[in-house]
Structure formats: structure tokens, C-alpha cells
A and B are shown apart, each in its own frame.
Chain A
């Protein structure tokens, strides 16, 4: 087994063991219903986490994604419910707004040489504040297009359902994995995260790649915002508070290195599923405080950081020896 695949395998093994243990305790957790829920309920988180994977592989961070989800939800809801736009037109505008927002953050990160942490923190306040200025209330969306989409489900035997948004998340993961591992943009992102100086010496267009990475992240966050608005049929300015941290956790648990240059889109998928599993287990148990979710995620994060240290320490020693 290639040494570089170990974190991914570790995540997958931990997920499999955890799921098996959960099923032994609650047999009904092994059902198409629960598996379908994993996809539907985590769709917005998963889509956000794909964008976050690119940002983290490039050596950056994006704290604005949760706020972009909230902003997009409100923008879409207001355009449809108050201005009478067709949802598809509202979606297109929201995605375009988010893409330019991401481009702006990418430009600031690259040309002003400000740490991504600060730039995207400012972005987070801007987007969340913007959403709350538009409205403070939850704006319901009642449009036949929304009803049509929520009726687009594949029923599985055993009562489970594959929803449109769940399948959309799977599609985003597949496309994300192809872009990361099979395109020139993907290899630029890895090179940039590995070492920006040598990447630029090797002819990687650093400015274009940086801007591109934040555009991808913001656009996917806006897509997640659209998914969130389909999920709740409403736009709410305080929706998805803290989702940026869940997304970062999923990426790290999925085996991506926070320092950049190394990671897997598929690993992020397993990371998202692992977070969903923890939450589902706690709901099935019904007596544990839901704050245990946070404790378990904290423990998992710590475990993976230690694991990555050990694996990478081992591999650099191996390189020195050879």
C-alpha cells in the first residue's frame, strides 16, 4: 500500500468500525432510510466541504463559507418570494455573486499578501451581515419549482429515499475528485499548497490558481446555500452558523493536511459521513446530550492530527534514509 494513501484508509476503516458498532447496538441504523438520510441531511455540508478541500490543499482556509450559505439562502428566498423571480434565475445570480465574492477574496489573499484567515474572516462578517441587513426573519419560499425538486426522489426498498440534493452532493464529490486529481488546475492547487515559491518557479500561475481556489470555494458554498434553501424551503440569515468549522473538520478527518499540498476529495466524503454518523448515533441513543457530537468530533480531529504527524514523520525519515 502506498504510504500516501494511509490517512484515507485510516478514515475509511474508522468509519467502517464505527458504523458496525452503531449497527450492533441499533440494528435499524443499517437501513436504506438511514443511508439515504446521510446523503440528504449532509448535502449542504458535503458540497461546502468539497470547496474547502481545494482551499486547504492549496494551503489556505476559508472561514466565509457558512456565511455565504446563509447569504445565498436569503438572497434566493428574497428574489423568489418578494421579487417574483424564477428560482433558476435566482440560483444563477446567487452563484455569480458568490463567484465574484470568492474572486475578491482570492485577489486580496494573493495581491495584498494578507493571510487567508483574516481575508475570509472579513468575508464571513460581510456575508453574514449582508444577509441580516436584507432580512432578519426566515423568508419562506413557496414555489412550484421547489415542490417539483423535493418530489424528485428515488425510493429505495425499506423506506429509504435518495433525494435530489443528496445525489447532487455525490455528483459534486465525483466532479471535485476528477478536477483535483485529473486536471491541470488540480495539480496547480497541489503544487501551490506544497510550496508556493517552488510552484511559482516551476511556472504555476499562482495568482490565477489562488483566485480560482477561492472562487471554487465560494461558488460551492453558494450551491450549498441553494441546497440548504431547498432543504428548508426558506432563507434564514442565521442559517448554517459554524458550518465552516464542520467543513474544516470533515476535510481534516478525511486525511487532508492542514498545511496544504496533500489530501483527497474522497477522504472528505468519508469525513462528512463520519460526522453524520456521530450525529445519527446520538439521535438514536436519545439520552446523550447532543453536545457529545462536538466532543466526539474534537477527539476525532485530534486523533487524525496525531496520525498525520506520525505518518509524515515516518515518511520523511524514510526519504532521508534513502
Chain B
């Protein structure tokens, strides 16, 4: 056995040991989780995945649903502090107004991890924040389309999210960045579908009418899966085959889009993972094990799913999460 193999083995062993230690350190800890509410399917899935992750790691999770109200979240955080929990996870409902209560947590030496959204407060008030990169999501979707059409001309119609909302702005920007270098891929039309299924269908119908019955459209890019599902319906109603005549790419990876991908009616989706708590628990574990300070902004993976990624299996895995 040469020296390099030995070193590699030692390093591997060390990694195995330290990851074992991390798992040890977090079990038995009491962690409070102040969730915004359950306004969307994704939010409900985030809650159930957080519970699952806590159970797997032996964490005693205290869950508080704020019913969309900041005052309830502040009360919940104060309650967690009074209770002396080991750490607090917060998915903040608004960006402002957290300084006082987070200072109290800091004073009580309870680390706070933000999930899914950022806040306007000094960075030393929280340990880290776990969120997705919405621009990257758009870029992954755009890159997939550029690769898929492989140099052929492609007119894209875009179904935007709610006007002015940050996912709509960022997912649009990312997609445009990805197709900027591919002169063959252009956005022909772009309108808001308000993130809803019915509006997505309605806008797609208008796009089809104004584009020679859909013959001039090569692909539809929707800022979320719900609008894509609506668009698929509109394409079918127009007598075309979604997924073949018109490519469909969207973002979120909710169960319904996997059914569509399995049926060949949608082509790709980019996951906005509901597992924000997993990376948060890992960061806390490392912090408790040896004081490792995590990065201030942990970015979750924006994974691309296509028909090659077992869409039926992905559907089965997700269907009970509350989407």
C-alpha cells in the first residue's frame, strides 16, 4: 500500500468519523421551527420534510405555524427562547422587524438559522441562512433548452410569475442569461400567468392564437410548474402535442409535473427543494461539533429533472408531502 492510498484512506476515515460525530451531536437537541404558515403546497411540503429530517436525526422539533402573521412568529421565537431550545429555525414572513427578537436569541446564545428567505438585519444576528438561488433556477432551465434544441431555431414563449415578485424577476433574469449566447433561442412573447394554473392556461391560449395556431412556438418556459400544467392543457386543447410539438420546461418540481413528464407532456423541471432544514441541521451539527462557522448563505441545489430521471418514482416520493 503506497503512501497516497494510506493518506486517502486516513482522510476517508476521518471524514467518516467526523460525519458520524456530526450526526451524534444533533440528536437529542431541541430545535424550534417557526414556519410562516401553509399558504402553498411547497410550504406544506417544506414543513413535512423538516419534520422528517428532524426525526431522522433524532431532533426534538418544536413546530409553530404563524398563520402568515409576523407577530405570531415573534411570539414563537420568544417562546422558544424562554423555553431554552438549543437552536431556532425561522422561515421569515417579511424581511423587516427581526432585530429585537434576534438580539434576544443572540443574548441567550441560541443560534438562529433562516430558511428560504432573507431578512434586513445585521448578519451577526443569525448563524446562517439556507435558500435557493432563483437566478440559478432560471439559468438551469434556460441551459437545458439551449442544449435540447442543439442549435436549431427556437421561439420561446414565457409564462412569468406574479409581476414584481422576486421569483418572477430572478427566474426571468436567469433564463435570459442562459440563452443570451445562443442566438438561435429567442423569447418571442412573455406575459404573467400569476403563478396559477388557470391563468397559465389562459395566457397560453392567447400565445397559441397569436402564433399561427402554435406552429411558430418551439417551447414554453413557465416560472412555476402550476402554470406549465395549465399551458399543457391549452396546448392539448389546440390539438398539438405538448412535450413534442412544443417543449415544456418549468421550475419547482411539484408532483403533478412529474406525472406530466412521465406521460411525455412536459420535458423538464428544475427543483426548488423543500429540504431547507437538512442543510440547516448539518450546519448546526458542525457548529456544535467543533465550532465550525458555516457560510452565511447556504445555497440549495437547483437540480434538473427530465424524463430520464424516473419521473414516476419522483412523483411517488413527493405525493404525500402535502404539495
Contacts and interface: CB of A to CB of B under 8 A. Distances in A.
Given A33-B82, A37-B82, A236-B94, A283 B75 contact: yes
Contacts, number: 92
Nearest to A289: B65
A31 interface: yes
Interface in A137-179: 138-140, 150, 159, 161
A236 B69 contact: no
Size category, A interface? 35 or more
A235 B79 CA distance: 23
Given A138-B94, A233-B100, A283 B80 contact: yes
A159 to B, nearest CB: 7
Contacts of A239: 70-71
A8 B65 CA distance: 32
B22 to A, nearest CB: 24
A234 B79 CA distance: 21
B65 A231 contact: no
A234 B97 contact: yes
Size category, B interface? 20 to 34
A242 to B, nearest CB: 8
Nearest to A29: B82
Interface string B61-75: 111111101111011
B96 A286 contact: no
B14 interface: no
Interface in B47-96: 60-67, 69-72, 74-76, 78-84, 94-96
Given A33-B82, A236-B70, A41 B75 contact: yes
Nearest to B99: A233
Given A28-B84, A286-B32, A41 B65 contact: no
B108 interface: yes
Which of A232, A241, A279 has the most chain B CB atoms inside 10 A of its CB?
A232
Contact of A140 (B62, B97, B100): B97
B96 A138 contact: yes
Interface string B17-28: 000000000000
A302 interface: no
Given A41-B78, A285-B62, 5 more contacts: A34-B79, A37-B75, A138-B97, A240-B71, A283-B80
Interface of B: 32, 60-67, 69-72, 74-76, 78-84, 94-97, 99-100, 104, 108, 120
